[in-house]
């Protein structure tokens, strides 16, 4: 039994086999940090979250660089709904080389007033992460009293610049010299730094708007008098949980023929070709940038999607959205219920057992019929 064998078992979706391998290693060496990390992941993937938390916390104590265990323990706490206990572990992401966070030569902002100074807030991780947390920029500007600049990747800039401009926040992209600022923060830290309670997260929704001319073009492409629902079935293939969150397009066939025009929202190349009966229209090839995608979403009556950036964009735009979630969802969706404090117009449709998409898709079909 080796660490590599346990990792291979996790990667092929056999968490129970991985658990047995890592427990075998730990029987001989109880403080084996990599085996504790692996055991935590195997337990997490089986939704044994309290046990996973124990394993990740033990990994943090056993590892000379504890940040990975602390971070994973924080994610489990957030998934369990313990935000006060989970945010400190979430902050440990900034110390993980694998996530690519730069260590900048200016102090990290801790949420305190810094009136008259210059604060740089940077985007991070995926498109969905930035769209989710950008709502907190105005509150950060008000709390800090600083001149705030938001730096984001070029694909996001066209989408988010109007939001920033409306709130008096400068928006820049490309290379940024951090020495031009007094302090900085990562955008994913703002909810924690500001102490925003979950009940307040959705108060600003919708907070993104598409370019009106673009949205009008897509409205004209709709069949007159029809209800139109967008479908997205794949996330980014390199996402570590993509095998759990994405599904083959044929699994969405029950959504066809439910009284709505089905519109594809999947950019090529596709990993699975959708059955001809699934889509009435396909806008995916025209999703040339995020501002165009926002205009498309705004022109629809509803969206059914897996957990990817399309879900966050629809939520931020206030477009009714049903999100199909795996048995063990990402931390931000919690474990129970159809509602989420992040987006009031969103409905969460959860698997009731690992790998079974039939139930969530059937509930989405029933919602379309209604």
pLDDT at 135 (0 to 100): 97
Interior angle at CA 362, CA 359 and CA 367, nearest 5: 130
Count Cα atoms within 13 angstroms, Cβ side, for 30: 0
Statement: the pTM of the whole predicted model exceeds 0.85: yes
339-365 pLDDT, tens digit each: 999 999 899 999 999 989 999 999 999
pLDDT at 103 (0 to 100): 87
263-314 pLDDT, tens digit each: 999 988 888 888 999 999 999 999 999 999 999 999 999 999 999 999 999 9
Q: How many CB atoms lie within 10 A of CB 27?
A: 11
Residue 54's SS3 state is helix
Top-confidence residue, 13 or 82 = 82
302's CB contacts (< 8 A; 6+ apart) are 227, 229, 230, 260, 319, 320, 321, 322, 368
- Max Cα distance, the chain (Å): 68
Residue 239 above 80 pLDDT?
no
pLDDT at 43 (0 to 100): 97
Q: How many angstroms separate the CA atoms of 134 and 147, rounded?
A: 16
Where does the pLDDT of residue 100 fall: very low under 50, low under 70, confident under 90, or very high at 90 and above?
Answer: confident
pLDDT at 237 (0 to 100): 79
Q: How many angstroms separate the CA atoms of 159 and 277, rounded?
A: 32
Q: Residue 26, exposed/middle/buried by CB under 10 A (0-12, 13-18, 19+)? A: middle
80-90 pLDDT, tens digit each: 999 999 999 99
Residue 344's SS3 state is coil
pLDDT at 241 (0 to 100): 79
Stretch 93-110: mean pLDDT, rounded?
91
Beta bridge partners of 173: 152
187-221 pLDDT, tens digit each: 999 999 999 889 999 999 999 999 999 999 999 99
143's CB contacts (< 8 A; 6+ apart) are 111, 113, 194
Q: How many angstroms separate the CA atoms of 358 and 370, rounded?
A: 18
């Amino acid at each position: 039994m080796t660490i590599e064998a346990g990792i291979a078992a996790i990667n092929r979706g056999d968490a129970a086999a991985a658990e047995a391998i890592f427990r075998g290693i730990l029987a001989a060496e109880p403080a084996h940090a990599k085996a504790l990390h692996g055991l935590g992941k195997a337990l997490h993937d089986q939704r044994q979250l309290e046990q996973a938390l124990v394993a990740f916390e033990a990994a943090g104590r056993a590892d000379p660089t504890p940040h990975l265990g602390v971070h994973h323990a924080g994610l489990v706490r957030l998934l369990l709904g313990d935000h006060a206990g989970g945010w400190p572990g979430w902050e440990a992401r900034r110390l993980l080389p694998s996530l690519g966070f730069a260590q900048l030569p200016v102090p990290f902002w801790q949420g305190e007033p810094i009136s008259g100074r210059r604060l740089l807030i940077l985007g991070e991780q995926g498109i969905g992460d930035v769209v989710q947390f950008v709502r907190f920029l105005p509150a950060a500007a008000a709390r800090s009293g600083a001149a705030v600049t938001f730096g984001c990747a070029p694909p996001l800039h066209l989408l988010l610049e109007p939001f920033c401009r409306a709130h008096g926040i400068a928006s820049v992209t490309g290379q940024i010299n951090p020495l031009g600022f007094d302090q900085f923060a990562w955008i994913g830290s703002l909810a924690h730094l500001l102490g925003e309670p979950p009940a307040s997260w959705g108060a600003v929704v919708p907070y993104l708007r598409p370019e009106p001319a673009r949205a009008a073009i897509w409205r004209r492409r709709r069949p007159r008098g029809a209800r139109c629902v967008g479908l997205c079935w794949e996330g980014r293939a390199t996402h570590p949980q993509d095998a759990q969150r994405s599904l083959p397009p044929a699994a969405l066939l029950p959504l066809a023929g439910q009284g709505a025009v089905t519109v594809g929202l999947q950019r090529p190349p596709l990993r699975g070709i959708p059955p001809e009966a699934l889509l009435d229209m396909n806008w995916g090839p025209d999703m040339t940038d995020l501002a165009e995608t926002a205009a498309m979403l705004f022109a629809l009556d509803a969206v059914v999607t897996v957990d990817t950036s399309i879900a966050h964009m629809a939520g931020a735009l206030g477009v009714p959205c049903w999100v199909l979630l795996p048995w063990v969802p990402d931390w931000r969706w919690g474990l129970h219920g159809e509602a989420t404090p992040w987006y009031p117009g969103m409905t969460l449709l959860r698997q009731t057992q690992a790998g079974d998409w039939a139930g969530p898709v059937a509930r989405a079909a029933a919602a379309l019929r209604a």
